Homo-oligomer: A and B are copies of this chain.
Amino acid sequence: MRTPPGMSERQFRQAVDRFIGAVGAGNVYTDEADVDLYRDPYTPLWGQEGERIASAAVAPASVEEVQAVMRIANELRVPMYPISTGRNLAYGAAAPAYSGSVVLDLKRMNRILDVDQVNHSVLVEPGVSYFDLYRHFQENNVRMIIDTPDPGWGSPIGNSLDRGGGYTMAHFRNHFDAHCGMEVVLADGTLLRTGMGALPGAKTWQQYKTGCGPWIDGIFSQSNFGVVTKMGLWLMPEPEAYMRGTVYVPRYQDLHRFVEILNYCENVKLFTGMPSLYSPLLGIVPMSQLADSMAKPPQLTGQQAALIAAAELGYSPELEAYALREGVPYWGLDMPMYGPPEVIAAQWAAIKRRFSEIKGATFQDGEVIDFPVSKADEARVHLPEFGITSLRMFSIISRSPLSPVAFSGHMGLSPIIPRTGAAIIEANQVFQEVAREYGLPTLGSFTLPLLYWERAFIFIFSVMFTRDPAVDAKTVAGVRALIRIAGEHGWGEYRTPPVFQGDVMAQYSFNDHALMRLHEKIKDAVDPNGILSAGRYGIWPAHLREKKQ
């Protein structure tokens, strides 16, 4: 039997017995084989010293059971690590940030508590997955669109708390922004509700976010200060149709104005879907197109590949000359639109007008896809843009340019940079230096950012791990170097797996880590025994603070 640090087997056995009393014997896992299911299959530290491994897991079925478990843990000082479905493989999965923690597995809390088709929201428990929600909508003919990440097995609550993103309109694909109201169990078992939910008998818990007085919800994202047991989510009602418009521009330097016009169009809501930036010339395909047979991934000629290999930061005069001669656009941009066909047509006409100022810009009208999506269309579109859950991306990544080597797992290395062409070029220069030094192939070629978030660019590098300790050690060193060097340039990661959370948070060091010191003050006040999510995002309870794994 594994035990939490500092607890004897006898002490831990007492705690386990009390947990069993609270949730039943079948819902407390202590056998190594069971607990191993909570290991992070994508960890770069598999089987090594630093791998984060749970001591046990407890799976309550109700809020009352969560409260009971937390009261026991608080009394006996058992470190707890809550997960919803624990399926976010590239960001740490179900493994705790502090080895020896007991995983609080909320999978059994899987009730869809409310579906409101007049105000377009749901109220769910943390064990509800995107798949569950989609199935429920299908079975009950609910005409609302779920904003799902590529893999649909995750939890809307978990993904919102982890500040994940999806693929529909900006204010839905920012999953934390799309939440409205929480129920939370604090470390000592106290139950509270946020927003309008703090009113007993609240009528607008899922309708108005911020309640009255200070708005507390944000501190519960990333799960340092409480266990979220219910959450409201705003959804998009089913639109009439979808169309993806594409703009191409011919020259390297067009990138700058291209991004500026994109920003204008998105910020004034000329289109509302998630844009994708790519390069037919450089063979850079947007993530969404990988899963999508409507898109036409570029075929590189031998000459083109050779010119790309010789280019610096995606540019050489010869490469540009090739592009102009052969009519291969340097840059491409997809802008998806949702709405009635006549609105989409008008938006697309206005967007074309804006981009036409770039000399040589060309346009490709997308196909108009009607909602609800037909089975035939389902087979060929990027499903999350239509609110349809799947696991298709897993098979796609494994055969894509994202996986140049055999690998056992990957992580998302995700620095956020400004939304300008200059920032793309500067970031590539910096990242490529790190890649050369540390042998990180996915950072080595010219890369374009993703556009999950309004107003910012995000690079999501899939860094591959192999379970070869020597190879992975070098990769880990490279990731740490990139986090540090990006920080020195004023670029920060927006999330990261537990192995790197300390490194990332160390970059957020303004005024001698004043923000971290505030987090620690709140930690000590809200969870004085320091039992909840120790070490997550670098926030350690007082008794472990010196150590900082």
Q: Hey, which bits of chain A sit against chain B, CB under 8 A? A: 118-121, 163, 169, 171, 176-177, 180, 186, 190-194, 196-204, 206-208, 210-222, 224-225, 234, 236-240, 259-260, 263-264, 267-270, 272, 338-340, 342-343, 345-347, 349-350, 353, 416-420, 423, 453-456, 487-496, 501, 504-505, 507-511, 514-515, 517-519, 521-522, 524-526, 537-539
Contact partner of A504 among B206, B212, B493, B537, CB < 8 A?
B212
Contact A213 B537 (CB under 8 A): yes
A180 to B347, CA, bound (A): 28
Contact B514 A522 (CB under 8 A): no
Contact A213 B492 (CB under 8 A): no
Contact partner of A269 among B198, B203, B339, B419, CB < 8 A?
B339
Contact A537 B214 (CB under 8 A): yes
A501 to B416, CA, bound (A): 39
Contact A263 B219 (CB under 8 A): no
Q: How far is the CB of A206 from chain B (nearest CB, A)?
A: 8
Contact partner of A203 among B345, B490, B518, B525, CB < 8 A?
B490
Chain B residues within an 8 Å CB radius of A206: 455
Closest to A191 in B: B511
Could you list 9 further interchain pairs (A-B, Cβ under 8 angstroms) beyond the known A191-B514, A192-B515, A522-B522? A118-B259, A121-B455, A190-B517, A203-B490, A207-B416, A213-B501, A217-B218, A237-B264, A270-B340
Closest to A226 in B: B518
Closest to A520 in B: B525
Closest to A215 in B: B218
Chain B residues within an 8 Å CB radius of A118: 259-260, 263, 419-420
Closest to A232 in B: B455
A493 to B222, CA, bound (A): 29
Contact A511 B219 (CB under 8 A): no
Contact B268 A418 (CB under 8 A): no
Chain B residues within an 8 Å CB radius of A345: 346
Chain B residues within an 8 Å CB radius of A169: 269
A/B interface sample: 13 pairs, CB < 8 A: A118-B259, A196-B492, A199-B492, A202-B492, A204-B417, A208-B453, A213-B519, A213-B538, A216-B518, A218-B219, A237-B267, A268-B338, A269-B269
Contact B208 A455 (CB under 8 A): yes
- State the number of copies, please: 2
Chain B residues within an 8 Å CB radius of A190: 511, 514, 517-518
A458 to B519, CA, bound (A): 34
Contact A212 B343 (CB under 8 A): no
Known contacts A342-B350, A510-B197, A526-B521; A494 and B222 CB within 8 A of each other: no
Closest to A419 in B: B119
Contact A525 B514 (CB under 8 A): no
A491 to B490, CA, bound (A): 44
Contact A207 B456 (CB under 8 A): yes
A414 to B32, CA, bound (A): 56
Closest to A217 in B: B218
Contact A507 B199 (CB under 8 A): yes
Contact B456 A515 (CB under 8 A): no
Chain B residues within an 8 Å CB radius of A340: 270, 346, 350, 353
Known contacts A196-B492, A224-B214; A418 and B525 CB within 8 A of each other: no
A122 to B194, CA, bound (A): 30
Chain B residues within an 8 Å CB radius of A514: 190-193, 198
Closest to A421 in B: B118
Contact A203 B517 (CB under 8 A): no
A530 to B511, CA, bound (A): 23
Chain B residues within an 8 Å CB radius of A121: 455
Q: How far is the CB of A346 from chain B (nearest CB, A)?
A: 4
Closest to A218 in B: B215
Contact B263 A119 (CB under 8 A): yes
Contact partner of A210 among B197, B218, B234, B260, CB < 8 A?
B218
Chain B residues within an 8 Å CB radius of A418: 119, 203-204, 207
Chain B residues within an 8 Å CB radius of A493: 212
Chain B residues within an 8 Å CB radius of A538: 213
A193 to B259, CA, bound (A): 28
Closest to A194 in B: B515
Chain B residues within an 8 Å CB radius of A487: 199
Contact B203 A423 (CB under 8 A): yes
Contact A214 B210 (CB under 8 A): no
Contact partner of A212 among B197, B237, B508, CB < 8 A?
B508
Ordered nearest first, which 9 A-B pairs have the shortest CB separation? Answer: A215-B218, A525-B525, A213-B537, A192-B514, A198-B508, A203-B490, A346-B346, A340-B350, A201-B490
Closest to A120 in B: B267
Chain B residues within an 8 Å CB radius of A212: 492-496, 504-505, 508, 537
